[in-house]
A and B are shown apart, each in its own frame.
Chain A
């Protein structure tokens, strides 16, 4: 595929349930990022992978949130014991390399998570 893809596009779950959100980055991009966008706000950084390892997870709000990228390509964001406040659009982005210089990040369409 030409761009970053995310599945599912929409996810509705009940409070307390576990969810997994998937991101397929652009082929060959070593850096992958997760952001959360709440209604009426800009995206907020959650976690950044360089290859298989989480280079920076300082944006994860608490230990209910976890993300993996076992083979350095596809990433899964996992949320345990979901709360209504977790409802947001979760965006994934990838870039060719993880550096501050010339770091153009390409964004997927997002997964809209609704926790009832």
Chain B
């Protein structure tokens, strides 16, 4: 069965600092992995996805993630945080029945 685990329910960074949100996956088949962002009272928006092409995936808003099979990780990074990045971030993997399986989420706070 496929699943993801997000380490850290809350991450706080200063504006301009590196953002690192951690996600580890478990999958019995080659995984298809996603990062979504959720702003307050809004739906989930896709940031980026990994579908077995390049291991370094670039997404919107300056975010990127690297698929590391040896570490079963798909961590999300951004070199320089902006105040507008404050939101909830979810890592997800496609399950056997095409359902999206989400982690518990990481709330990112950006301090001025």
Q: Which residues of A pack against B, CB within 8 Å?
A: 3-4, 31, 33, 35, 40-45, 48, 55-56, 58-59, 91, 93, 98-110
CA distance A92 to B2 in the complex (A): 21
B97 close to A105 (CB less than 8 A): no
Q: A42-B104, A55-B98, A56-B99 are in contact. Are A101 and B51 (CB under 8 A)?
A: yes
Q: Which residues of B pack against A, CB within 8 Å?
A: 9, 32, 34, 36, 41-46, 49, 51, 90, 92, 94-95, 97-105
Most B Cβ at <10 Å: residue of A103, A106, A108: A103
Q: A43-B102, A56-B97 are in contact. Are A101 and B42 (CB under 8 A)?
A: no
Which residues in B have their C-beta under 8 angstroms from that of A109? 41-43
**Interface contact tally, CB-CB below 8 A:** 69
Which residues in A have their C-beta under 8 angstroms from that of B44? 43, 91, 93, 107
CA distance A101 to B42 in the complex (A): 26
A48 close to B102 (CB less than 8 A): no
Q: A48-B97, A48-B99 are in contact. Are A42 and B43 (CB under 8 A)?
A: no
Given A91-B44, A103-B32, 7 extra CB contacts under 8 A = A33-B100, A42-B92, A45-B95, A59-B99, A98-B98, A102-B32, A108-B43
